[in-house]
Amino acid sequence: MQEKYCCVTCGTYANELSHHYKEGVIKIIHCKQCQNPVDPYIELDDLLVFIDFVLLKLRAHRHVLFNIDKIKYNHILKLSCALILVNAYIKWFHLKNDQYQSIINHDHHIFYALEYGFYSKLLESFFEYTIRFGFIFMIAIVQYRQTWTREKSILLFRALVLSSIGQLFVLPLLIWSPDHRDYYGLLICFIFTIFCHTQALIASQLFSSLISFLSSTIAILLSKYCVSLFSQNSFL
């Protein structure tokens, strides 16, 4: 049987998470390496799993990456599109907010220009994520060379997309402080995204802890810098 699951405690691969017996009896499988339950998160509610994931617990990241069958590849693609749209909206919101008075004065030319500006911010957002993910993929391919496989590509893409949820936390800032940029909040979300990327890469077992942190930090800074060459509002 193919080992497709992972022990959330030690990272050892396993054949199954639980074994179903007759009359509805279910037994949680224990890891052969560390003797702990392979994945105790299967008994918890999704909200508790999400909380541990946000708290950057390595066990939760392993559970999300390896042991949730209901997260399909098309779900990851949809989430990546949502992240790009959210990032583009945040950029466009501040652009629109800077010209809010012109819209109040019924300056339709400014309004149409801002509508066009959303598509330019959408392109910037796509460009930013492409650079970020592409840089980490390049490091992984160089490190593994001939042993790099399609399965590892899917696992890495899954880890990067799921660990980009820090961008979504910027949206409440638009509600709490719509008239100005909360740079402290943005900085916190920026730092959180770095650590979330790092923890996800460690959980994927594709990189060491040091390489995970360095590649995540450099990738995010590089993507922000490249976009800043085209827009002054890119660091959002």
A 10 A CB-CB count for 176 gives 8
Q: Is the pLDDT of residue 16 over 60?
A: yes
Strand segments, DSSP code E, in the chain are 5-6, 13-14, 18-20, 26-28
Q: Tell me the C-alpha distance between 223 and 126, whole Å.
A: 10
pLDDT, residue 235, reads 42
CB proximity list for 12: less than 8 A, separation 6 or greater: 6, 31, 32, 33, 34
Q: What is the pTM of this model?
A: 0.84
pLDDT, residue 102, reads 52
pLDDT band at residue 3, thresholds of 50, 70 and 90? low
Mean local confidence (pLDDT), 24-33: 83
pLDDT band at residue 195, thresholds of 50, 70 and 90? very high
Mean local confidence (pLDDT), 114-124: 79
Strand segments, DSSP code E, in 12-166 are 13-14, 18-20, 26-28
DSSP class of residue 236 equals -
Mean local confidence (pLDDT), 57-67: 92
26 forms beta bridges with 20
Q: Lowest-pLDDT range, 23-27, 65-69, 114-118?
A: 114-118
Mean local confidence (pLDDT), 190-216: 93
Q: Tell me the C-alpha distance between 77 and 216, whole Å.
A: 20
192 with 220: CB under 8 angstroms?
Answer: no
% of the chain surpassing 70 pLDDT: 82
pLDDT, residue 105, reads 52
Three-state secondary-structure class, residue 119: helix
Mean pLDDT of the chain: 83
pLDDT band at residue 234, thresholds of 50, 70 and 90? very low
Q: Tell me the C-alpha distance between 229 and 223, whole Å.
A: 10
Q: Mark residue 78 as left, alpha or beta (left: phi above 0; alpha: psi -120 to 50; beta: remaining).
A: alpha
